[in-house]
Structure 1
Amino acid sequence: MLRVVFSAVVLTVGALFGAAPAVQAAPYAAIVIDARDGDVLHSRNADTRLHPASLTKMMTLYLAFEAVENGTLDLDQQIRISRNAASEPPSKLGLRAGQRISLRYLIRAAAIRSANDAATAIGEAVAGSETAFSQLMTETARSLNMNSTTFRNAHGLTASGHMSTARDMAQLSRHLFYDYPQYYNIFGRTSASAGIANVRNTNRRLLNNYRGADGIKTGYTRAAGYNLAASAERGQERVIAVIFGGRSSDWRYHRMVELLNMGFERAPARVATIRPQRAETGAIMASVRPMPRGTSEVTQLMAAASVVGNAIVPQAQAATTASAFAPSPTAMRLRSDSASLAALAERSVTGVAPMAAPRPEPRTGDWAVQLGAYRNPDYAESVLTNALASEVAALNSARRQVSETVVNGVNLHEAQFIGMSQEEATAVCSSLRAQNRICRLVEPSS
């Protein structure tokens, strides 16, 4: 009798002070698909909008890979860490504000360690700010047919409106594998150096124990529960499974094993591969990389913007494709082709397009800085206006210019300050980048 009473008291006290047995934090959802053609093999609550937690980082990394392939960022480019990124809560790499670290290490930390500070730093490097990157993430989600997903940050910590579904995350998993196979290997590493620390994979239990497993990403928050997107290959078959709302890491692991086994049992031995497709959304990601001296006008224009969806910028060629994350430097270069550059036309800030005319150029000897290229001319103008608030003195005497260019049939509007010396332009870009703003140098035309 005393033992029963004592047990009841322990349970009551435990419930009050958080020592009670773990309960499921969110509704359970799962999906299993054949990665080769996207066919659904199992589904439960797959379209319920839930908290994705660190599965979010799959989109962050997708956009990082895209930036590297488009040449807007290099794997060995040194990224300056902002206070915003450094202040992210754990899990984190331990980055400090003002520190510089290569993009390669940030990618490893985000993919393997699930580091929140690294994910935010990647987002700021790609889009200039966390807010802009979140918008880019959501727009990219639409282009990948992830129609139930909205992003509010790069790391996946709980935020109002930051939601996704098991089906959407399975779709993103397919795109990571098919769109960037040269980088997909990062998800299968059980450990790696992230520059300032060695990181161990949060998904290593599955990677070490399930035959054929090679990724992809774990996630956990109190609101989300224990999430996991996983992929495994056996012979000619590849299966992707996603879990939302797991009760514990151990429960998540065993349930994922069951789902992957189910997938291999139900997947046909042979099926035609149907690659996932992207749709044009009109989102623009501007270059943050300054162009070196002697870079052709065509290459500069192509590097100025890449369209999310059907990319207008040809994919860059990696110096080595066997392991994109090998320690040796990887040189990324854009393929420029003058035949792909359409006639240039001047366009006023108001958006009224006059008859085709030569594109205005800086005067001989003048340097310019470009703050991106955008579909909307009014937005391009607002970028210039906002830059004046940066208190970079040289911008006050420079001339503002929004000019239209057409690349592969896509109208883009370049936001530039022109009429500076080389020293002024270099100092301007240095100051703007220090504020996490997009900027690249444009050399005189002659």
Structure 2
Amino acid sequence: MPPAYRNPVGTLLGVLFGCLMLLSVGQVHANPRYAAIVVDAESGDVLHAANADATRYPASLTKMMTLYLLFEALEDGGLTLDQPLPVSAYAASKPASKLYLKAGSTIPVEKAIEALVIKSANDVAVTVAEALGGSEEHFASMMTRKAHELGMSDTVFRNPHGLPDARQVTTARDMATLALRVMKDFPQHYHYFSRTRFHWNGKTITGHNRLLDDYPGADGLKTGFIRASGFNVATSAVRDDRRILTVVMGGFTAASRDAHTADLLDRGYLRLAMQQRGDWVAQADLFGDRMALPEPMPATQPTRQLASAEADPSWSQALAAREASSMLTEPDTEMGSADDPIRALLARNDATSSGGAWAVQVGAFSDADQARSLAARAAGHLASVLQDVRVAVAEAQDTPRLFRARLVDLQEGDARTACRSLRQQGMDCMVVAHN
């Protein structure tokens, strides 16, 4: 039975509490490997992006492209699900994670699919590459060509598995594009990505993707890890018939990566719910201020100091222990200081006014102080346009712990003039009737 419905506010508060505890014991460290993107799968709208176009290592997210080409071969009739694929000595020599296939043996196509999705088996990835491309090198060229056909212009593949190669690079946006195309182009095969175990040679093989069990509605796709990339994951989830896709790259640990992914999904569904009600949220309000992972430094050139992918548990646990102290978040820098001159406007929040029944909404936040800060900044921008602008922050009755930031008691014409002025100064807004 799936876990109970996740409360977005409770999740956020838990993340914030954990971050505060960590901040109290060490210096904040930025994470140069971090990138993320959140996409509404139905519309293709990007709900959130952080470093989404920065160069990153895909690690075993690579295998989504290996599977894409394998699914193409199945649909073209070049392969069948029960067709045996021969295992070469080169494929058998690949390091873990692997099925430990023997040179000269075979593996059926369907078992190869399961092994790639669930076990992230590198020996199986090469077996597929040799079956479809003749060699790993030629198959990697096929992968890159297909990536560019799909619009993944910033991606280059050099192997079918994601093991370390400094020339194999991608972006979070490109990985999201690939995940969406896998789902849309091969819906008949997408069910493989929801599986968490399969049987091979009398054994039950379990997978790495804990989100499939831990996040309600999650039904795929793929995890990945090498030391240079950090912990990556592409995740798709469905709630109330709406599908959201997330890609998170650069987690310090698998656990922190998964927690951050769950948080992004929660925030994405909150945004969609507000949009469906005709409400409105500024682009960064629900995502950008407090993240479960550190705020990133500017993207750096990928290092050639690479380590093995999907490493054995003892190695990855050692890495996690060494890096766990860096799993911190940057403090909020948007709140302003005590002597901020526009803070005087906040004292007027409960003042009465004989103005109009219209308002300018500049955002909606999960934190009331953030809502007040943005509303006060907006009022400051309008000082030369409107006199005595009143700031109001109210909790939405239909969405607890969601605070709307508004400038209120305006005549309709003044409200529209004010919103135009704010947009000219680069601030999003909308005109609403205000009770």
Shift of 1:270: 9.6
Indicate the percent of aligned positions where both proteins have the same amino acid.
47
Q: Indicate how the Cα distance of structure 1 residues 212 and 150 shifts in structure 2: closer, same or farther if over 3 A, else same.
A: same
**2:277, 2:70 → 1: CA distance?**
33
Letter in 2 for 1:73: L
Report if the CA contact (8 A) 1:243-1:256 is conserved: yes
Task: Find the residue that maps to 2:198 and give its secondary structure.
Answer: strand
Paired residues, number: 251
**1:239, 1:257 → 2: CA distance?**
11
Match of 2:262 among 242, 257, 260: 257
Q: Indicate how the Cα distance of structure 1 residues 182 and 261 shifts in structure 2: closer, same or farther if over 3 A, else same.
A: same
Alignment-derived partner of residue 287 in structure 2: none
Correspondence list, 1:43-442, <5 A: 43-195=49-201, 197-203=203-209, 205-267=210-272, 268-269=275-276
Letter in 1 for 2:217: G
Shift of 1:91: 0.4
* Structure 1: gaps (5+ residues): 1-20, 272-446
Report if the CA contact (8 A) 1:215-1:230 is conserved: yes
TM-score where L is the length of structure 2: 0.55
Shift of 1:194: 3.7
Task: Find the residue that maps to 1:181 and give its secondary structure.
Answer: coil
Letter in 2 for 1:36: E
Shift of 1:175: 0.5
Moved more, 120-129 or 187-196: 187-196
Report if the CA contact (8 A) 1:119-1:155 is conserved: yes
Report if the CA contact (8 A) 1:105-1:195 is conserved: no
Shift of 1:198: 2.5
Report if the CA contact (8 A) 1:225-1:244 is conserved: yes
Shift of 1:195: 4.7
Q: What whole-Å deviation, never above 9, does each CA across 1:202-247 have from its counterpart, x for those lacking one?
A: 10x2111111000100000011100000000012210000011111
Q: What whole-Å deviation, never above 9, does each CA across 1:295-326 have from its counterpart, x for those lacking one?
A: xxxxxxxxxxxxxxxxxxxxxxxxxxxxxxxx
Letter in 1 for 2:227: R
Q: Indicate how the Cα distance of structure 1 residues 37 and 194 shifts in structure 2: closer, same or farther if over 3 A, else same.
A: farther
**1:38, 1:195 → 2: CA distance?**
41
TM-score where L is the length of structure 1: 0.54
Task: Find the residue that maps to 1:169 and give its secondary structure.
Answer: helix
**1:134, 1:26 → 2: CA distance?**
27
Correspondence list, 1:12-27, <5 A: 26-27=32-33
**1:136, 1:103 → 2: CA distance?**
19
Q: Indicate how the Cα distance of structure 1 residues 81 and 210 shifts in structure 2: closer, same or farther if over 3 A, else same.
A: same
Q: What whole-Å deviation, never above 9, does each CA across 1:96-127 have from its counterpart, x for those lacking one?
A: 11111211111110111111111111111111
Task: Find the residue that maps to 1:51 and give its secondary structure.
Answer: coil
**1:197, 1:82 → 2: CA distance?**
22
Q: Indicate how the Cα distance of structure 1 residues 211 and 79 shifts in structure 2: closer, same or farther if over 3 A, else same.
A: same
Task: Find the residue that maps to 2:192 and give its secondary structure.
Answer: helix
Task: Find the residue that maps to 1:69 and give its secondary structure.
Answer: helix
Q: What whole-Å deviation, never above 9, does each CA across 1:119-138 have from its counterpart, x for those lacking one?
A: 11111111111111100000
Task: Find the residue that maps to 1:218 and give its secondary structure.
Answer: strand
* Structure 2: gaps (5+ residues): 1-26, 279-435
For the aligned residue pairs, the C-alpha RMSD in angstroms reads: 2.2
Alignment-derived partner of residue 36 in structure 2: 30
Are 1:39 and 2:45 an aligned pair? Answer: yes
Letter in 1 for 2:49: S
Shift of 1:24: 7.9
Q: What whole-Å deviation, never above 9, does each CA across 1:226-283 have from its counterpart, x for those lacking one?
A: 0000000012210000011111011111101011111111224499xxxxxxxxxxxx
Shift of 1:37: 1.7
Q: Indicate how the Cα distance of structure 1 residues 269 and 93 shifts in structure 2: closer, same or farther if over 3 A, else same.
A: farther
Moved over 3 A (4+): 23-26, 194-197, 268-271
**2:75, 2:204 → 1: CA distance?**
26
Shift of 1:26: 4.8
Task: Find the residue that maps to 1:121 and give its secondary structure.
Answer: helix
Task: Find the residue that maps to 1:229 and give its secondary structure.
Answer: strand
Task: Find the residue that maps to 1:254 and give its secondary structure.
Answer: helix
Letter in 1 for 2:63: K
**2:264, 2:165 → 1: CA distance?**
29
Report if the CA contact (8 A) 1:108-1:194 is conserved: no
**1:74, 1:24 → 2: CA distance?**
47
